[in-house]
Structure 1
Amino acid sequence: MSRLTDLIAKAKSKDADLGRELEREFKALSSRRSFGLNFERHRPENVELPGRPIRKGDKVRILPERGSTKKGDQRLWKVVSLAGKGAERMASLSLLYADEPEQAEAPVADLCVVAEFRDYIYPGLVSTGKVERGGDKPYHTVINGENFHALEALTFTHRGKVDAIYIDPPYNTGAKDWKYNNDYVEGDDQYRHSKWLAMMERRLIIARQLLNPEDSILILTIDEKEVHRTGILLEQLLPDADIQMCTIVINPSGTSRGLLSRVEEYAFFAFLGKRTPSRVPDNLLTEQAGKPKALPWESLLRRGNTWYRHMRPNLCYPVFIDPETRKIKGVGDPFDGEDENARIRSKDGFDAAWPIRSDGKLGIWRKDGRGLLKLSEQGYATATQPDTKRGTWTIKYLMAGATKAIASGDLSVERPDEDGPVRLLDGMGMGSIIKTVWNRSAHNAGMHGSALLRAIIPGRSFPFPKSLYAVEDAIRSVLLDKPDAVILDFFSGSGTTAHGVMRLNKQDGGRRQCISVTNNEVGADEQAKLRKDGLRPGDPDWEQWGICDYITKPRIKAAITGETPEGQPIKGDYKFTDEFPMADGFEENAEFFTLTYETPIAVSHNRAFERIAPLLWMRAGSEGSRIDTLPEGGWAVTDCYGLLTDLDQAASFAEAILGKDSISIAYIVTDDERRFQSVVRQLPDTVEPVRLYESYLTNFRFSMGR
């Protein structure tokens, strides 16, 4: 062993990258055990970054000429120098990892930057759109980027803060469903299984750093191709977890492939710390499905494109709410003025809640004032939370179907507070633990995965999406008691996990947020067609067909708004736990981002702040407004965090933070540790001080999963 160590040291002195690779392989071999899962740790993957500007020192590939369907030169080159301008710009290149030196020149337009997975990265985010219907709720976030690097970015924002990870990775069936080193892994590849395991291991090593070790859960779904290897891999990576596997019937008609007819797939549940399953009314095997797991509270605000106050003037009236107790105290007369801003805002110390739509204009309620007061008296209507963005309150009520079920005894409710809302007796804290075999029609992937997706984004397809209700049930079964949980899906595909989280929030008034990570890969067949048309990755006409831009973002936006990408109301109803029109959408917020790759010099000199800003916002909880540019006055404070760039303004900054209990983080930009500590002493103990950009740069100097 000592001889090998000496040889590796010599290799490092001549070629640092080669030396590190040899050392990594040596450590992997020397750590192998007699029992357990042994597999080849293949050469780390790399990812092409189409569209990223070419810089001196970058690693690049030379792309095939436009219109060609050839694979192209897969060798890596280093950009030695750049010359020229515009379309005539040329790059001098030097071949990497070659036995013999080789030089070349190529047009910059024919180059694509490549990030190797052993390289350090300094990530940023660029917003590509948002949808806001959730008032002051935290934002769900969607990140378009290589998930390995996105996970590394999240080590800065969410280390130890994630309550649950739900992933549905590629199943390694041998079809063209996942890529390795820019190649699709075919079914006849003799290293197919070890390549898949190496890919998964690298990501899970980082992912476990994001989970809260004291109380969290990892859920991983898989089929028979890799189920046994996955179980052993999880045992090795999460030795302190309690791991169980569930069998889920997803296709009752079965798929034979010439052998036994397969109807199921599998889900691993790895419980960390004190996390245990929640009790739910349906154990998903023996008990009858159909029992509600939560009362179907519905928004009193009438949704839809046309429901403004002129449609039903008598339904546009103020509801008076006690801001301390959140109880409905009365209603006022319908608004009959011309200037909507002149409406009454309060009365006798009570807030006046109006049916304000997302565009700020007055809409209508679903019930008249007399009917609402009657529901409130019975505990069937309640004010849930203030909506500071729209300047009103969110009011929920039970529709006729639910109240009739309560009256008939089909639903058992109680009213803990004589002036408050009713709650379901068979809800949280009651019922059963789910079984390890699930057999529910709701989990049929064809009906409630593919068909449901076609209804939401008509004309667009995605291979093998999960049943929305299977994902919803999985999350509910372990997070029913955590209405503010953070859930991560770094193989998000079509966005089913985020959709399921939003449904669960609607059922119990939760504020759970989902972080979805997917790339913008274009399918193999579509790639061939686009290349024949002279397109390349990075071209807008190519990128529009990628998974993130064509499927994930449109699906999540459509689910929230209730409208298809073409602006039409979504046809059909949600089923099972709570049934309501999909066109109603959800009262949720979401923002979409693309992962960027920054340089440490640009970061430390404030030249990358606009791309770092979303990471600071996410670390503070993805709530409220964001500081997107450097503040002119030297400091700024938002709903949940503050930023100080001029330490001479520290006193004013600290005073502003002391006046807002909602602030959890203070970012302080300074290279001087003593001045940083001086500012920290002025801050409340409840505020986490973070030194920029030292904290950011130090975090990414580590090679996380390499």
Structure 2
Amino acid sequence: MDKMRMESEDLQQDNVQRIAALFPNCVTETRDENGHLKKAINFEMLKQMLSDSVIDGDEAYEFTWVGKKASIVEANRPIRKTLRPCKEESVNWDTTENLYIEGDNLEVLKLLQESYLGKVKMIYIDPPYNTGNDFIYNDDFKMSGEEYTDESGEVDEEGNRLFKNTDSNGRFHSDWCSMIYSRLMLARNLLSEDGVIFISIDDNEQENLKKICDEVFGESCFIAQIAWKRKKEISNDSKNVAIQGEYVLCYGLEKAKLALEPLSGEYVDKSYKDPTDEFPCGKWRPVPLTVSKGLSGGGYTYTITTPSGVQHTRLWAYPESSYKKLVDEHKVYFGKDNSGVPQRVMYLSESKGQPISNYWDSVATNKEGKKDILSLFGDNAFDTPKPTGLIRKMLQVATSEDDIILDFFSGSATTAHAVMQLNAEDGGNRKFIMVQLPEETDEKSEAYKAGYQNICEIGKERIRRAAKKIHEDNPDANFDDGFRVLKLDDTNMKDVYYAAGDYTQYLVSMLESNVKPDRTDLDLLFGCLLDWGLPLSFPYTSETIDGCMVHTYNDGDLIACFDENVPESVIKTIAKRQPLRAVFRDSSFVSSPEKINVGEIFKLLAPDTRVKVI
């Protein structure tokens, strides 16, 4: 019976396995920090395998900074953390499919790697803008000014500083780049094949973010850099140029395609004609039937005679039979005098829309974002909220009714608000995953005075209040207005679980359990979901069988029992249900023979069930 891992996936070793499948001669062995052998990559050999000439030198076109390699290592490093359910702060815990996760997003993204691999349709993030100040995401690769000076070569051989390290120097850019790079690496894994990511950014790091995204997602995945007009007013105290806009970078994976949006009224008024007796089916416009010479796709050459007797021999886009069908349907326009080159009649009702513009000057402004907050809280509970209208626009062009939307810098939870609003309007069932560090609010802020001690408390309360208001504005709407709260915490397991060999048999026997004493069945269940890569939003039931508590997740995707000394009758009941997975505690069995017997019971009654212990 296998033992559950109870830590995040080792992405570095996964990447090694992928490379090994393509280039087995590039795989070697090395020892880890504990002296154990593990697979590694011979990078010089790999570079040579990918080159059509002899590798001679280390020049390459690349974007780099101090700490970049460390950020890659940090993104791939496994962690011993878990997500603990918090039912008391949740809304509609048993039925909702939405998630609100509290914790550092780098670690949360690591934990979500298996459960949401390739399942997220849209990601929106509004990361902290780099203004030269330290920001709150303090990762292992973040370094002090002195450390940066040493590593970046800003001192000579005698230790003298080569130039002054001011706030405008690269350390601040390096910190920010390292912070965002590792998170985007992990986020990319969660996007579906047609998934799209939108990132809000200002001038300070726009250039660097574009280069990072080109590297993480690939230049071919770049869709657009959207200019967003965030404010209408021009500040009188602006220096040189008044900044009214920001950017939204948009990247999509291989099959990503943004939806068309309805034609604007201005375009319709300019391009479409009013109905006539000849073309009565609504507004219409003429579309050329001819094909320009030299264009790919060819065409059809024949002569068309107009109602007035004028003949036109051209290279036409349609074969003659299709043209005659258009004539029969009264969808050919010959000009005002019925003698012009024929054109197809395209009705407005036939239009599929138009591509979105990369200039959003009338979507929503930051002032409207503040109004959103004021309408819910009555005061300025959050300083810089993005407007729901901005994110609603992204949802409209990038998602459909059943998609998952992730925001791992969720702030005041504008994205959750926008998801519920759009679902109420179009009947969709989009699901959101909000991730936010519980950053403490300023004691002088209105939010703190109102009793909100951290940003997560603001975000959760906003979702509750927004849901109530959306119901009031849309009394007939049926949408998911709940969310499950999960909080990042240390692993459920004691140290002995991971390194039993480091403890003497006497000490092991003194330990009653390898599970921490403050952990509940629900903690253990959700820890197993992460370990086995199951989504965290599915329904589950709990029941008592012969005195033991048994949890069934999503109709048998997983059945778990974490009781001590589980009797054989319970084991057989679970096996007869033939779940895809079953999990027990190691202490559920008095002895090794009993554990072996469990394996035999499942082989007999449920041979396809995967059984593990924690």
TM-score normalised to structure 1 length? 0.51
8 Å contact kept, 2:542–2:549 = no
Is residue 425 of structure 2 the alignment partner of residue 507 of structure 1? Answer: yes
What aligned pairs does 1:7-156 form with structure 2 within 5 A after superposition?
34-41=60-67, 120-127=79-86, 129-130=88-89, 132=91, 136=95, 138-156=96-114
- Aligned equivalents of 1:264, 1:462: Cα separation in 2: 20
Amino acid at match of 2:384: F
Structure 1 residues 635 and 523 mapped into 2: Cα distance closer, same or farther (>3 Å)?
A: closer
Query: Which has the greater radius of gyration?
Result: 2
Secondary structure of the 1:443 match is: coil
| Residues 224-373 of structure 1: pairs in structure 2 closer than 5 A | 224-239=203-218, 242-244=221-223, 245-254=225-234, 257-281=238-262
Question: Which letter does structure 1 place at the counterpart of 2:397?
Answer: S
Matched to 1:594, the amino acid is K
Q: Which residue of 2 aligns with 1:494?
A: 412
How many residue pairs get matched?
430
Equivalent position amino acid for 2:559 in 1: L
Amino acid paired to 1:610: L
Partner of 2:378: helix, strand, or coil?
coil
| AA in 1 matched with 2:494 | I
CA distance in 1, matches of 2:202, 2:79: 33
Gaps of 5+ in 1: 1-8, 17-22, 46-114, 289-424, 531-540, 563-572, 659-664, 695-706
Aligned pairs for 1:540-689 (under 5 A) are 544-549=452-457, 551-562=458-469, 580=473, 587-598=480-491, 600-601=493-494, 605-607=514-516, 608=519, 609-615=521-527, 619-620=534-535, 622-625=537-540, 632-633=547-548, 635-640=550-555, 641-645=557-561, 648=568, 649=570, 651-656=572-577, 666-669=581-584, 679=602
The residue identity in structure 1 corresponding to 2:248 is A
Aligned-pair distance for 1:167? 1.0
The match for 1:375 is: none
Q: What is the SS of the residue equivalent to 1:160?
A: coil
Distance (whole Å) between structure 2 residues aligned to residue 629 and residue 552 of structure 1: 36
Q: Deviations over 1:41-72 (max 9, x none)?
A: 17979xxxxxxxxxxxxxxxxxxxxxxxxxxx
Deviations 1:620-679 (A, max 9, x none): 451334659999536432544431436944553355468xxxxxx634337779966974
Q: CA deviation at 1:178?
A: 4.2
Whole-angstrom distance in 1 between the partners of 2:113 and 2:450: 31
C-alpha distance 175-585 of structure 1, shift in aligned 2 (>3 A): farther
1:590-609 CA-to-partner distances (Å, cap 9, x unmatched) read: 12222111254377845544
Q: 1:680 to 1:44 in 2, by over 3 A?
A: farther
In 2, the alpha carbon distance for the partners of 1:268 and 1:477 equals 14
Instruction: Report the Cα offset of residue 232 of structure 1.
Output: 0.9
* Contact 2:370/2:380, CA 8 A, preserved across alignment: no
470 and 680 in structure 1: CA distance in 2 versus 1, 3 angstrom threshold: farther
Distance 1:545 1:123 in 2: 23
Unaligned runs of 5+ in 2: 1-29, 36-41, 47-55, 146-165, 270-346, 499-513, 587-594
Residue pair 2:541, 2:551 contacting (<8 A) in 1 also: no
Per the alignment, residue 415 of structure 1 pairs with none
Give yes or no for contact 2:542–2:550 (8 Å, CA) kept in 1. no
Q: For 1:417-451, what per-residue CA distance to the aligned partner results, in whole angstroms no more than 9, with x for missing partners? A: xxxxxxxx9999942321222121x411112x112
1:495-544 superposed Cα distances (whole Å, 9 cap, x missing partner): 011111111211222221111110111246759x99xxxxxxxxxx9994
SS in 2 for 1:484: coil
After superposition, give the CA deviation of every residue in 1:328-368 in whole Å (9 maximum; x if it has no partner).
xxxxxxxxxxxxxxxxxxxxxxxxxxxxxxxxxxxxxxxxx
Query: CA distance change for structure 1 residues 486 and 188 in 2, over 3 Å: closer, same or farther?
Result: same
1:205 paired to 2:214: no
Q: In angstroms, what is the RMSD of aligned CA positions?
A: 4.9
Q: Structure 2: how far apart are the matches of 1:510 and 1:257?
A: 43
For the structure 1 residues 179 and 624, does the alpha-carbon distance in structure 2 shift closer, same or farther, using more than 3 Å as the test? closer
Describe the superposition over 1:277-310 as per-residue Cα deviations: whole angstroms up to 9, x where unpaired: 123326799689xxxxxxxxxxxxxxxxxxxxxx
User: Are residues 144 and 600 of structure 1, via their aligned partners in 2, closer, same or farther at CA, if it must alter by over 3 Å?
Assistant: same
SS in 1 for 2:357: coil
Question: Which structure is higher in RCO with an 8 Å CA cutoff and minimum separation 6?
Answer: 2
1:57-89 per-residue CA deviation (whole Å, 9 max, x = no partner) reads xxxxxxxxxxxxxxxxxxxxxxxxxxxxxxxxx
2:473 aligned counterpart, secondary structure: coil
Residues 465 and 494 in structure 1, CA contact (< 8 A), matched pair in contact too: yes
Residues 540 and 552 in structure 2, CA contact (< 8 A), matched pair in contact too = no
Structure 1 residues 559, 690: closer, same or farther in 2, change over 3 A? farther
The residue type equivalent to 1:258 in the other structure is: K
Change (3 A) 1:673 1:516: farther
SS of structure 2 residue aligned to 1:148: helix
Aligned to 2:159: none
Question: Distance in 1 between the 2:172 and 2:493 partners?
Answer: 36
Supply the distance in 1 between the matched residues of 2:361 and 2:567 (Cα, whole angstroms): 61
Paired residue secondary structure (1:637): strand
Asked if 1 retains the 8 angstrom alpha-carbon contact of 2:201 and 2:247, the reply is yes
Taking a change above 3 Å as real, the CA distance of residues 587 and 610 of structure 1, as seen in their structure-2 partners, is closer
Indicate how the Cα distance of structure 1 residues 251 and 161 shifts in structure 2: closer, same or farther if over 3 A, else same: same
The structure-2 alpha-carbon separation of the partners of 1:507 and 1:633, relative to structure 1 and needing over 3 Å to count, comes to: same
Specify the alignment match of 2:175 in structure 1. 195
Structure 1 residue 231: Cα displacement: 1.0
Correspondence for 2:393 among 458, 473, 484: 473
Taking a change above 3 Å as real, the CA distance of residues 221 and 667 of structure 1, as seen in their structure-2 partners, is farther
TM-aligned CA distance change 1:580 to 1:429, over 3 Å: farther
**1:466: how far off?**
0.7
Aligned 8 A contact 1:160 1:211 in 2: yes
**Aligned-partner Cα distance in 2 for 1:284–1:223:** 31
When residues 655 and 680 of structure 1 are mapped into structure 2, their CA distance, relative to the original with a 3 A threshold, is: same
Q: Deviations over 1:306-333 (max 9, x none)?
A: xxxxxxxxxxxxxxxxxxxxxxxxxxxx
Give the match for residue 339 of structure 2.
none
Asked if the contact 2:541/2:552 (under 8 Å) is kept, the reply is no
Per the alignment, residue 379 of structure 1 pairs with none
Choose between structure 1 and 2: higher helix proportion.
2
Pick closer, same or farther for the CA change 1:238–1:427 going to 2, 3 Å.
farther
1:41 partner amino acid: G
Deviations 1:458-490 (A, max 9, x none): 23422221110110111221113xx22111111
Which amino acid is 2:558 matched to?
G
Q: Check conservation: 1:614, 1:626, Cα contact below 8 A.
A: no
Summarize the Cα distance change of 1:190–1:235 in structure 2 as closer, same or farther, 3 Å threshold: closer
Query: 1:159, CA displacement in angstroms?
Result: 2.4
Which residue matches 1:170?
128
Aligned-partner residue type, residue 523 of structure 2: R
Counterpart amino acid of 1:589? Answer: G
